[in-house]
Chain A
C-alpha cells in the first residue's frame, strides 16, 4: 500500500510533461461552459505563433492558456473576466476583439463614414431621371 504514493511521486518527477493531457486539449463536460470557453479561445491570439487564435494553435503556451480558460470558466468565471485577466498580462494584443476606446474608434468610424459618403453619392444619382 505504501508503494502507491511513492510510485506516484516518482511519476511526477520523471514522467516528462505530466501536463500533457488535460483541459488544454479536453472539453469541459458541461456543454454550455465548453461553448463559452471555445468562443473565448477563438478570440484570444496565440502569443507564440501570433497569427492564430489559441483554439487553433499547437504551441505549448496556447495549450496552457486553453487549460487556464477552461479551468476559470468551469470555476464559474465570466468569459469577459478571463479575457480582461489575459489582457492584463499581455496587453490588448492578445485579444482578437479590439477594445472600444478612443484609439480604436476608427475601426468603426471609417466604415460608417464610407457608408454615409457612399450613400450621399448614390442619392445624387437616384430620382431625377433624364428623359
Chain B
C-alpha cells in the first residue's frame, strides 16, 4: 500500500470518530427503556389488594374481552400525582384503569388516594417488583394498554397528559 495513504488513515479514523460523537450528541441523554412485552400477551402476575375495600390486580382480570389501561405507579412518585387528574378524566370517558403500585405500602397508598383521588377500578400491591419486571416496566409512572384478548398493545412511559388522551381512548375503543 502507498505510504501516503497509510498516513492519512489516522485522519480518516478520527474524522469518523468525531462524526460518531456528533451523531451521539443528538441521541437523547436520558435513556428510556422500552418494554419488550408490547405486542405480547399480558404476562402472568397476581398483585394482592393494596388497600382495604378494593380488589387487587392479576392477569386473569384482563381476559374478559374488555380493553383496559394498566397504570404502574407509586405513592412516593411525584409525577404520579400530576397524572391522577388525567386518569380521572379517562375514567370519566369510559376507560377502565387498573393500578399496580410498586415499592409501596397500604398506609401511604391510602393517604395518596385520599389526597389525589382514586381513578382505579382495581389496585394491586406489587410485592417485590414481580409484576413490574414481568411487564418490562423500568420506572413510574408507566401506562400499558391491554386489548380485549389480553394482549399489551401499547406502552406509554411517563406522565399521561392531555396530548395522549385521544390516542389512549381510541386504543381502548371508547371514543366519545
Contact = CB atoms under 8 A, between A and B. Distances in A.
B136 interface: yes
Interface in A1-38: 13-19, 22, 24
A42 interface: no
Contacts of B36: 87-91
A67 interface: yes
Contacts of B129: 60-61, 63-65, 67-68
A22 B130 CA distance: 14
A68 B134 CA distance: 11
B15 interface: no
B34 A16 contact: no
Nearest to B50: A13
Contacts of A22: 128
A74 interface: no
Contacts of A18: 127
B165 to A, nearest CB: 27
A70 B64 CA distance: 35
Nearest to A50: B31
Interface string B1-30: 000001000000000000000000000000
21 contacts: A13-B106, A14-B105, A15-B105, A16-B105, A19-B127, A22-B128, A24-B128, A60-B129, A61-B132, A61-B138, A61-B139, A64-B130, A64-B132, A68-B128, A68-B129, A68-B133, A89-B134, A89-B135, A91-B36, A93-B33, A121-B6
Contact of A48 (B128, B133, B138): B138
A98 B129 CA distance: 25
B118 interface: no
